[in-house]
Structure 1
Amino acid sequence: MLGEGAGKSVPRLEVRMMADTEYPVLKDFLYEAIFVPEGEKAPERSILDQPELQVYISGFGRDESDCAVAAAVDGKIIGAAWARIMNDYGHIDDETPSLAIAVYKDYRGRGIGTELLSLLMPSLRDRGFKSVSLSVQKQNPAVKLYKKTGFVTVKETDEEYIMVNNLIMC
């Protein structure tokens, strides 16, 4: 439940496939997906213009591998998860889409990420993908979400994990 209290209307969470016309909001969620450790300053939004981040959103929807889901409360998108074949931080091969996911701070810790992945991963499987990968910094609390939803670490550096979910099993 997202809202509490007597007399308050409870916002309704809807998790659904993202409409093509909504893809521009992925830029906002890409910024939200940037992990900022406690006590550090968030980067300027202009960081999204860097080519290594543009691969997540540039021309999204043009490729067959592009797939996105949204979580909305009272019609406002508050979270998104999307995947595409791209050469990003979590890239493992040219047949495995890489995942990005973000939920606005005010809505985190409520199971919305789990709901997003519960819709996205079967959608990717239905498109014929056998797995999905991601990169996550070790300090990021989202590591727990990924492990809980079946991702396993296949490679690690000093700072991050490369994780894969076998979609055949989910």
Structure 2
Amino acid sequence: MDYIIRKMKAFEYPFLKDFLYEAIFQRDETNLLPKTIINEPALKVYIEDFGKKKDDYCLCAEVDKKIVGAVWIRNIVGYGNIDDETPEFSISLFKEFRGYGIGTDLMKEMIKYLRNNGYKKASLAVQKDNYALKMYISVGFQVINENIEEYIMVNYLS
């Protein structure tokens, strides 16, 4: 599959609503959460006023001029927060574009961006049975903490 990865433009930030919803790991595909779930305070912090915080940065994947995935960072108090200096990753792809390596390439490009811009580490949270866990490990994330449902992971960028 041919795709390009590029910086998301500010006028495209509203697409992050769709990608935030897609980022929610839903075990039961026959009983999906309502899309309004992204308005919950614990979730909307990932996209609300995106582009206005110092560390907000987003890359997207494009197939045939359509945005099909995104990876973005923010320095927020989210599920994967470890301190007030470390940006937290969010990533998702539309279902039909998963399994082609696009997510891995998005992660690698964001890691490269973070390294080139002097970041020391990045974090994320992932549910323990999420298929993406293997991909996060493959790009350098390691588990540093956990709770009942999730691993807290860090990529030490140096």
Alpha-carbon separation, structure 1, partners of 2:134 and 2:30: 21
SS of corresponding position for 1:133: strand
Superposition TM-score, scaled by structure 1 size: 0.90
1:47 to 17, 26, 37: 37
The structural deviation recorded for 1:40 is 5.3
Give the aligned CA root-mean-square deviation in angstroms.
Answer: 1.1
2:113 to 120, 123, 143: 123
Unmatched 5+ residue regions in structure 1? 3-11
2:51 to 61, 65, 89: 61
The structural deviation recorded for 1:20 is 1.3
Deviations 1:69-127 (A, max 9, x none): 00000110000000010000000000000000001100101100111011111112222
2:3 to 3, 13, 31: 13
Are residues 1:110 and 2:91 paired?
A: no
Q: Residues 1-170 of structure 1 correspond to what in structure 2 (within 5 A)? A: 2=1, 12-38=2-28, 41-168=31-158
Alpha-carbon separation, structure 1, partners of 2:91 and 2:25: 11
Alpha-carbon separation, structure 1, partners of 2:29 and 2:14: 30
Superposition TM-score, scaled by structure 2 size: 0.96
Instruction: Indicate if the aligned counterparts of 1:135 and 1:163 stay in contact, CA closer than 8 A.
Output: yes
Among all aligned residue pairs of Structure 1 and Structure 2, give the percentage whose two residues are the same amino acid: 47
Runs of 4+ displaced beyond 6 Å: none
